[in-house]
DNA sequence: AAGTCTATTCTTGTATACAAAATGGCTTGA
DNA sequence: TCAAGCCATTTTGTATACAAGAATAGACTT
């Protein structure tokens, strides 16, 4: 297992990430090192470490001798990231179709069942959790740990925007139908079919595009 | 244009990256902060910044309260990374097939011509440069800047291993034929064909696999 | 003699002090 | 009145000092 002990800087980075995700820090806003230092009751050193981590993951932009600024992705970049996410997941599905283990396939189906239950119960948080697990299984079953890591990284980055999407009326039901198609394709070991199904599931097109844009203007106000 | 002024820590990170790539620092070796500080004639602060950057890009592993250790990818991870690279480039090619501009297509063809010339002249460095440009055009012409960045990132990481591969006898000629097939498919705007061609070009299979493994054992001695 | 406990030393993580560069405001001149 | 240049303040980048956890070696016990 991974080392659980983490330094303060790491926890601060996670906290800051959360604060950026939930909109506490607006787009373009400068993150003052001394202010954050007093806020977290630490010196500038761990703050700077945390900011550098965020800069590398793309959440903030670090301009030399100027400071770091929150950098929320714009509409174009978001579409681009979702496009890449869709393609990466499609690769996972393609590979998983032939590489998946029997136990994992069981897990995939039971997760999907639990997912459906949360839809019936209108349990958005529950859906969110089970859905994430559903996708995580596919990443893992691609049999490519590096690919899995890349998927998790991008998923994490898109997390807040995906969550917004879930609020769209009827989205959950449609999403479940798509899950169903993915599971079917994988059961048939049809890689291309699975890839197409999950690409459809993840990519932002049609109505989803419209809703994503709408959510952005809301978030920007 | 980008800000050209960079801090010392950034240049140190690049230097260290080079030192890891060329094997000056062996796999598993601990990078001592004070040693590096005196080597670069700076304090520990910029060294630590640089090491954290390397840790995030995966070149070194940072174990809390222990230090950072060089982490060269093993055979399995290398294969995995090449698999992802092949799929990412396949996506680029698929998208570029329909999105590419006329000028870029011209550039692609002329780059390929220059590439062939370097093969004739047995100019390995020249081939390396032109080949990289060839791929960079495809990344850009995917029309997805985020995808482009991800491709460049991974390409950079695989750079040293790809370079080794070029030394294999006859590889350059075969590689040119593959380029030719890619260009043809894109000229026909056939996304799937282009994707398949470049996937074949990048992925490590058959003889290439064998040579990659051989190069690893050489590097490890 | 081997193992363990402990003290010392070394290394990382954090705080603070200092240097250099950028921003902003003021003055001065046209 | 406006612009340009200079000074003060603010802020980032780097160096150093300090604290805390880990490695190591030596002594003591069984």
Which residue reads 């890591």 in tokens? A149
Q: Using pLDDT thresholds of 50, 70 and 90, give the confidence band for residue A3.
A: very low
CA of B6, C1' of C9: distance in angstroms? 37
Q: Are residues B135 and B176 in the same domain?
A: yes
Q: Is residue A55 part of a domain?
A: yes
Q: Is residue B1 part of a domain?
A: no
Q: Are residues B142 and B212 in the same domain?
A: yes
| ipTM metric | 0.92
Q: Show the domain range for A132.
A: 75-220
Give chain A's domain count. 2
- CB atoms inside a 10 Å sphere around CB A92: 28
Q: Is residue B2 part of a domain?
A: no
Q: Using pLDDT thresholds of 50, 70 and 90, give the confidence band for residue A5.
A: low
Q: Are residues A92 and A13 in the same domain?
A: no
Q: Are residues B81 and B65 in the same domain?
A: no
Q: Is residue B3 part of a domain?
A: no
Q: Are residues B92 and B130 in the same domain?
A: yes
Q: Are residues B58 and B112 in the same domain?
A: no
d(CA A119, CA A136): 19
Tell which of B26, B41, B70 closes a domain.
B70
| Residue A95 pLDDT greater than 90, yes or no | yes
Q: Are residues A82 and A66 in the same domain?
A: no
Q: Is residue A209 part of a domain?
A: yes
Least-confidence region, from A6-15, A88-97, A178-187:
A6-15
Are the C-beta atoms of B52 and B62 separated by less than 8 Å?
yes
Q: Is residue B196 part of a domain?
A: yes
**Residue B140, domain CATH:** 1.20.120.530
DSSP readout, A64-123? TTTEEEE----HHHHHHHHHHHHHHHHHHHHHHHHH--HHHHHHHHHHHHHHHHHHHTT-
Q: Are residues A130 and A190 in the same domain?
A: yes
d(CA B61, CA B68): 5
B48-77: b or e for each residue (b if 16 or more CB lie within 10 Å)? bbbbbbbbeeebbebeeeeebbbbbbeeee
Does residue B208 approach strand C to less than 7 Å at its CB?
no
Write out chain B residues lying below 8 Å of A144, CB-based: 80, 83-84
Q: Is residue A2 part of a domain?
A: no
- Residue B128: beta bridge partners? none
Write out chain B residues lying below 8 Å of A81, CB-based: 146
pLDDT in tens, B135-171: 999 999 999 999 999 999 999 999 988 887 777 788 8
* A45 CA: nearest nucleotide by C1': C14
Closest residue to A80, CB basis, from B3, B6, B145: B145
Give me the phi and psi of A69, to 5 degrees please.
-125, 140
Q: Are residues B86 and B117 in the same domain?
A: yes
pLDDT in tens, B68-102: 999 999 999 999 999 999 999 999 999 999 999 99
Q: Tally A–B CB contacts below 8 A.
A: 61
**Residue A37, domain CATH:** 1.10.10.10
Q: Are residues A87 and A115 in the same domain?
A: yes
Q: Are residues B154 and B186 in the same domain?
A: yes
């Amino acid at each position: 297992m991974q080392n659980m002990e983490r330094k303060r800087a790491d926890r601060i980075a996670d906290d800051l990430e959360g604060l950026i995700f939930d909109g506490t820090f607006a787009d373009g806003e400068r993150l003052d090192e001394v202010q954050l230092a007093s806020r977290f009751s630490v010196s500038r050193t761990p703050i700077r470490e945390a900011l550098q981590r965020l800069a590398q993951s793309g959440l903030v932009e670090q301009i030399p001798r100027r400071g770091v600024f929150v950098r929320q992705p714009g509409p174009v970049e978001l579409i681009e990231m979702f496009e890449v996410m869709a393609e990466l997941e499609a690769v996972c599905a393609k590979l998983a179709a032939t590489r998946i283990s029997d136990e994992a396939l069981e897990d995939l189906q039971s997760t999907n069942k639990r997912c459906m239950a949360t839809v019936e119960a209108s349990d958005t948080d529950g859906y969110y959790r089970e859905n994430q697990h559903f996708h995580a299984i596919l990443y893992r079953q691609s049999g490519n740990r590096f690919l899995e890591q890349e998927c998790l990284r991008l998923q994490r980055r898109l997390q807040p925007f995906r969550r917004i999407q879930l609020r769209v009326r009827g989205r959950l039901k449609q999403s479940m139908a798509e899950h169903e198609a993915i599971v079917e394709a994988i059961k048939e070991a049809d890689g291309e079919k699975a890839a197409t199904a999950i690409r459809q599931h993840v990519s932002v097109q049609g109505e989803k595009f419209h809703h994503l844009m709408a959510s952005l203007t809301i978030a920007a106000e």
